[in-house]
A and B are shown apart, each in its own frame.
Chain A
Amino acid sequence: MKMKYAALIKDTFAEIKATRNRFLSIFAIIALGTGFFAGIKTTCPNMITTAQAYYEQYNLADIQLKSTMGFSEEDLNAISSLIYVQNMKPGYSLDAFCNTGDESSIVRIYSIDVAKCLTDGEYIDIPVLTEGRFPNEPYECIVDNGIMAGEYRLGDKITLSGEDNSSLEDSIKYNTFTIVGFVQSVQYVSFERGSSNIGNGNITSYMYVPDSAFTYEVYTDIYIRLRDTASVSFDDELYDQIIESYTEKLEKVADEREQERYDEIYGENSEKLDAAQRELDEAKEQYEAGVEQYNDNMASASRQLEDGKLQLQMLIEIRDILAATQPEDLKTVAEIYPQLAEILKTFGGDFITLPEDYSEIELLAYIASLESLKNNAAKYLDSTIKNAREQIKTGEREMKEAKATYPKQFEEAKAELDKAQAEIDDGYKQLSEVEKPTWYVLNRSNNPGYGSFAEDAERIDKIAAVFPVFFILVAALVCLTTMTRMVEEQRMQIGTLKALGYPRFLIMAKYLSYAALASFLGSAVGLAIGFKLFPTVIFNAYRVMYIMPSIIAPFKWGFGLIVTAVAVFCTTLTSFFACYKELFDTPASLMRPKSPPAGKVILLERIGFLWNRIGFLRKVSIRNLLRYKKRILMTIVGVAGCAALTFTGFGLQYAISAIVDLQYENVFQYDLLGIYESDLSDEQRGEISALLDKSDYASSHIMGGYHSVNASVGASGTKRECYLMVPEDTAELKDYIILQTRVEKNPISITPGGVVIAEKLSNLCSVKVGDKLRVYISDTAYADIPVSGITENYALNFIYMDKNTYEDYFGKPCDINCFMAIMPDTTKNSSLSTEMLSNSHILALSYTSESGKTFRDLVSSLNYIVVVIIICAGALAFVVLYNLANINVTERRRELATIKVLGFFDGEVSTYVNRESIISTLLGIACGMFLGVPLEKFVIKTAEVDSVMFVPNVTASCYIYAIVLTFGFSLIVNAVMHFKLKKIDMVESLKSVE
């Protein structure tokens, strides 16, 4: 028995050697099938793995916090102490203008802690250095490799400025930074750089400068990596769930911190104000006391002056009296004027009492004393009066001076106090107006390109789901025909072995192992190539749009084993069917040559008038076609598969790329959509309107409400994200957005009481005109509104509604928050932006031409996939056609040698055979087109995302390309066959009996 095995194994290998071509054709089709399947199938997971590894290696933040007031040390502590935060990074960011020549573009400047970045493997969002080094000095920077590498060299300087060339000194220390390196940031996987609220709002690049270059008092950003996401792929639903739950938690923390920060700011300021008020109050009191004092002083001074004056008057009177008084009368006068007596008293004023009997001398002495008294008193009075006069003068002068200075001073002090009070009042007022800081908890979907990358990867996966089915089907069929032919050729040998008494399974083992070996090797080679080739080609196509490291495309053993097992099983099974019948034949009948199928009159011949019109050789071809039915069927299936795949490839490409023209040129007539704050007053909206009216770059515009809403059918239907557009003037909308049915191009008008919806939305919700659609303007506010029209629309799902209808259904007027404008010259986007963004209420501007371009770039990568599909389809067609043609030629060798002997030229021999193959190719193409239409529809359906409707109708060019290409493949095979036919040796072929 062992001997038998050995002999059979030897025989099998000898067989492989002898029938290399046959072995190779099974090998090739299996390699193609498995390679294509495995390669396409693993592309999406590999893309995800690659991105995930990239994100992990450079620690892409899970969450980014931003705050309207920045983050204090306490805020940082609060975040870093959270148990679920693995690590966090505070940082600064700033948008500035970067001037290159005449142009200025917006650059986002991030801070980087260089020391940490270099040493700490956990540092968040490590920039990947592509050239140069990290900065050592605060005036050095590293810049966006993707955008800036073309414009700058290492060592160049970048000059930054604020809006209108203002200085940035409040934010950053230097105006000029030296480029020391180029980097790519894991935050930016595409070439989009996000938007800013300065300039035209469009950031073109980013750069990093050391922390120490910033002059901010507080951090502007916090980046967080969560503990729980450490081992979760970003593509996993679990990741989104984790992010969602921690976003909620962080929002709670944010609420607390916002309140605390508010209290802090409020407390600090109000304390300061209170202290100031207290001080001011004191000052006020002082002032008041001062004023009082002054008034008192002035009053007493003037009183004193009055007294002085009165005294003076009196003194003058006395002096006059004194002067008029004879000394001898002094006493008498003195008795009348006590004041005089008083004065006289001071001068020893006792009047000498003249004795009754006074002597002359005594009298003379008496008079003399009186006289001297009088003189003395007069002298005294004179000097006293003089003094008093002077005093009064001085007093009066002093008062005058005081009056001249103090009130002025008081006035000034008063003004100052009032001012201080006003300031404090203002402070209080401001304090009362202080807003709470707002924290934003942002996740990765905020990073430009992050979301679309995952979407693109998934799209490939969806497309990948359909195509391999064909390859497997065709591979099985190729295997079946090849093995059938092989078994037929070896009838004699099988018969001999049977006659020799070999059991069936042993005989069969040869064919089964032949097929198994071919498919195993084919699968091994196919997988080895496919696992690498397809993911790499497709990913490299995507790398035109995404900044990512090269793909990680490992040989996936588990998957590979399953694919190989299936391939081997399928081929073995088909070869079992191929030799099953033969094995149950008797050895005798097996050893007799199997006569070629006998000729038969075909149905067509009975239709005489038709049959007679066909040329002789054509008749022959038709007969032959019908003779080898199985093979023709195979050709038709293979060609149909190829044609259908090619058609699908082109159809898919058209379906996606045509969206750009159809949506952005045919549907959207407006050139600019601007979004502004929704709570503006009529006046503020008027300003925007005036701005547009005034602008040379916008010729007309309308206002409207543009809101993100959800729609579903009834309460249970899935909610679909869509955009609600409520024009302020419904009649004017038609100049900005064309509403019409897609097929008939009948214009649709927005009727009161109904909504016009995008076709894709109607498909998603399966609603027709007249059905009701539930429109949610918030989680709780919704209305069931009948659909009055379904409009042609490809990108994003729109709902159009009249503003009165809105008010009727939702009980409040729609917030007007957008304008649509038509531009006479659509190349003037940035000029218009600069004008429009001077209005601070405008939030975003979106140009139709730019959206179209972005979309076009996005879909251009699909061309590569189409090319891959077409090449694979071509390879498939080639293998199938070549294999079948080969079988055809070897099986009909004798017949072909005969016609050669008859004197058919090489060309005629080729035509004789190829006419059959051309007819079957044509039939195959026809079937392929029938097959391709639903296939293309199916692929488009699967590849479509909710927000986009691929163009469902294909153009004639898709048919033409598919037909021409498929026919081309078949012609190549025919050309190859021509040489094979030429080589048929008549002598050899006719020598032996079949």
Chain B
Amino acid sequence: MSAFVEMRDVYKRYKMGEVVITASDGVTFEINKGEFAVIVGSSGAGKTTVLNMLGGMDSCDEGSIIVDGVDISSFSSKQLTEYRRYDIGFVFQFYNLMQNLTVRENVELATQICKNHERPEVVLKQVGLSERMKNFPSQLSGGEQQRVSIARALAKKPKLLLCDEPTGALDYNTGKTILKLLQDTCRNEGRTVIVITHNQAITPMADRIITMKSAKVISEIVNLNPTPVENIEW
């Protein structure tokens, strides 16, 4: 059985005038369905680039990216949009919520365009924000905002949940609850979750740990005994 997500010899180069920066240098890894994967590496290692390509926000220059048996590397921009629309859920470091929409509306924004979606109330309950549905983002704390962002991603019932430094802007405890939420989602719903972090300390919670350095994957470790988030200290 082939992996749910498979990156094979993926190259991504940025031309900065004369200089060519290779942000992905033959990246190859795979992730199975329902796994909680963490991509770890220092800043500038090329993690975001990989995630963007994986999430259909960016295209690769070389190699293939196969998600659920489909090679998305050859997708047109319309196909990529459809792919993002139906298959991907994104969580950003800075939440990227619509300031002008209430919590519920922010989730609705995603469900509006998705055929097979979860009801906003349900996901919001799931992330523990049932009481705050009518609040605007500015009325929420950072962690709460990130939970809204996760709820928005989950409401679409995505095949893949991609999170780029979801705890980067949060304090320790809040970060932990967010990671717990993500891990629970993965465990309870069997959703494939990929989290990017530069924090080596949180890798034990993952099923699969992909380490990147200088645009290359330097190690890919399958962790058969992931530690629950509660037990991790950093």
Taking beta carbons and an 8 Å cutoff, which residues of A are in contact with B?
A: 595-600, 616-617, 619-620, 623-624, 627, 894-895, 897-906, 908, 986-987, 990-991, 993
Asked if A903 contacts B86 (CB within 8 A), the reply is: yes
A613 to chain B, nearest CB (A): 16
In the complex, chain A residues whose CB is within 8 Å of the CB of B112 = 616-617
Q: Is A903 a contact partner of B81 (Cβ separation < 8 A)?
A: yes
Contacts of B102 in A (CB 8 A): 599
Known interface pairs A598-B136, A598-B138, A986-B57. Does A902 touch B99 (Cβ–Cβ under 8 Å)? no
**Is the Cβ of B96 less than 8 Å from the Cβ of A894?**
yes
Q: How far is the CA of A820 from the CA of B12 in the complex (A)?
A: 91
- Flag if B98 contacts A905 (CB, 8 Å): no
Q: Which A residues lie within 8 Å of B58 (CB)?
A: 986-987
Judging by beta carbons under 8 Å apart, are A623 and B100 in contact?
yes
Q: B110, A620: Cβ atoms under 8 Å?
A: no
Does chain A have a CB within 8 A of B94? yes
A990 to B101, CA, bound (A): 19
For the complex formed, measure the closest distance between the CB of B103 and the CB atoms of chain A, giving whole angstroms.
10
Are A620 and B101 in contact (CB-based, < 8 A)?
yes
Q: Would you give 14 A-B contacts (Cβ < 8 Å), ordered by A?
A: A595-B138, A599-B101, A600-B136, A617-B112, A624-B100, A900-B81, A901-B55, A903-B81, A903-B85, A987-B52, A987-B57, A987-B58, A990-B94, A990-B96
**Chain B residue at smallest Cβ distance from A895:** B98
Closest beta carbon of chain A to B232's beta carbon, Å: 27
Residues of B within 8 A of A897 (CB): 96
Indicate whether B90 reaches chain A with its CB closer than 8 angstroms. yes
Contact B96 A903 (CB under 8 A): no
Alpha-carbon separation in the docked complex, A167 to B84 (Å) = 98
Question: Is there a chain A Cβ closer than 8 Å to B143's Cβ?
Answer: no
Which residues does chain B contribute within 8 Å of A906, judged by CB atoms?
81
B115, chain A: closest CB distance, angstroms: 11
A902 and B138 contact, CB distance less than 8 A: no
CB atoms of A902 and B84 under 8 A apart: yes
A903 and B113: CB pair below 8 A? yes
B51-98 residues at the A interface, CB under 8 angstroms: 52, 55, 57-58, 78, 81-86, 88, 90, 92, 94, 96, 98
Instruction: Among A619, A623, A901, A993, find the residue whose CB has the most chain B CB atoms closer than 10 A.
Output: A901
Known contacts: A616-B112, A990-B92. The answer to whether A905 contacts B99 by CB under 8 A is no
The interface residues of chain B lying within 8 Å CB-to-CB of A900 are 81
Contacts of B52 in A (CB 8 A): 987
> Which of chain A's residues have a CB closer than 8 A to the CB of B9?
none
Q: How distant is A594 from chain B, measured CB to nearest CB, in Å?
A: 12
**Does residue B6 face the partner (Cβ distance < 8 Å to A)?**
no
* A626 CB, min distance to chain B CBs, angstroms: 9
- A904 near B98 with CB under 8 A, answer no
Contacts of B156 in A (CB 8 A): 902-903
Give the residues in chain A near B96, CB-CB below 8 Å.
Answer: 894-895, 897-898, 901, 990
* B137 sits at the interface (CB 8 A): yes
Residue of A nearest to B134 (CB): A601
Does residue B105 face the partner (Cβ distance < 8 Å to A)? yes
Q: How long is the Cα–Cα vector from A993 to B100 in the complex, in angstroms?
A: 18
Q: Is B133 an interface residue (CB 8 A)?
A: no
Q: In this assembly, does B108 line the interface, its C-beta being within 8 Å of a C-beta of chain A?
A: yes
Q: Which residue of B lies closest to A897 (CB)?
A: B96
- A-B interface contact total, Cβ < 8 Å: 85
Interface on B for A, CB 8 Å cutoff? 48, 52, 55, 57-58, 78, 81-86, 88, 90, 92, 94, 96, 98-102, 105, 108-110, 112-114, 136-139, 152, 156
Lowest 9 CB-CB distances: which A-B pairs, in order?
A: A903-B85, A599-B136, A598-B138, A903-B84, A599-B100, A898-B96, A596-B99, A986-B57, A623-B100
Which residues of the partner chain A approach B78 to less than 8 Å between Cβ atoms? 905
Would you call A901 and B109 a contact (CB within 8 A)?
A: no
- With A623-B101, A904-B85, A908-B113 given, can you name 5 additional A-B contacts, CB distance below 8 Å? A598-B99, A599-B137, A617-B112, A895-B98, A901-B55
Residues of A contacting B137 with CB < 8 Å?
Answer: 598-599
- Cα distance A507–B92 in the bound complex, in angstroms: 36
Determine if B113 and A902 form an interchain contact, defined as CB atoms under 8 angstroms apart: yes
B98 touches A898 (CB 8 A): yes
Distance in angstroms between the alpha carbons of A619 and B110 in the assembled complex: 15
Given A620-B105, A623-B101, A908-B113, A901–B90 Cβ distance below 8 Å? Answer: yes
Q: By the criterion CB–CB under 8 Å, are B82 and A903 in contact?
A: yes
- A504, B90: Cα distance in complex, Å: 43
Interface centre among B98, B152, B156 (most CB of A within 10 A): B98
Q: Which residues of A contact B98 (CB under 8 A)?
A: 599, 620, 895, 898
- Determine if B110 and A902 form an interchain contact, defined as CB atoms under 8 angstroms apart: yes
* B-side contacts of A597, CB under 8 Å: 99-100
CA distance A901 to B56 in the complex (A): 8
Tell me, in angstroms, the Cα distance from A903 to B156 when the chains sit together.
Answer: 10
A908 contact set on B, CB distance < 8 A: 113
In the complex where A598-B99, A627-B100 touch, is A903 in contact with B88 (Cβ < 8 A)?
A: yes
Docked complex Cα distance between A675 and B82 (Å) = 83
Residues of A contacting B101 with CB < 8 Å? 599, 620, 623
A620-B100 in contact (CB<8A): yes
Report the minimal beta-carbon distance from B109 to chain A, rounded to whole angstroms: 7
- B59 CB to closest chain A CB (Å) equals 10
A598 proximity list for chain B (CB < 8 A): 99, 136-139
Minimum Cβ distance to chain B for residue A607 (Å): 16
Nearest to A615 among chain B residues (CB) is: B112
Say whether A993 contacts B99, CB under 8 Å: no
B99 vs chain A, min Cβ distance (A):
5
Bound Cα distance from A627 to B52, whole angstroms = 31
Closest Cβ of chain A to B106, distance in Å, is 10
In the complex with contacts A599-B136, A600-B136, A905-B78, A899-B84 CB distance below 8 A:
no
Q: A627 to B92, alpha carbons, bound, how many Å?
A: 24
- State whether B92 touches A902 (Cβ < 8 A): no
Chain B: minimal CB distance from A231 (Å): 67
A902: B residues at CB distance < 8 A: 84-85, 90, 109-110, 113, 152, 156
How long is the Cα–Cα vector from A606 to B94 in the complex, in angstroms? Answer: 31
Specify which of B92, B108, B113 is in contact with A904 (CB 8 Å cutoff).
Answer: B113
Expressed in whole angstroms, the Cα–Cα distance for A563 and B81 within the complex equals 51
Name B114's closest neighbour in chain A (CB-CB): A903
A990 to B92, CA, bound (A): 9
Taking CB atoms, residues of chain B closer than 8 Å to A627 are: 100
Asked whether, in the complex, the Cβ of B57 is within 8 Å of the Cβ of A616, the reply is: no
A448 to B137, CA, bound (A): 76
Q: Are A901 and B84 in contact (CB under 8 A)?
A: yes
Cα separation A616 to B109 with both chains bound (whole Å)? 8
C-alpha gap A901/B158 in the complex (Å): 13
- Shortest distance between the CB of A632 and any CB in chain B (Å): 13
CA gap between A975 and B137 in the complex, in Å: 32
CB distance from B121 to the nearest CB of A (A): 15
CA distance A894 to B112 in the complex (A): 20
Q: How far is the CA of A903 from the CA of B80 in the complex (A)?
A: 8
Chain A residue contacts of B100, Cβ below 8 A: 596-597, 599, 620, 623-624, 627
Complex Cα distance, B23 from A991, in Å, reads 15
A640 to chain B, nearest CB (A): 25
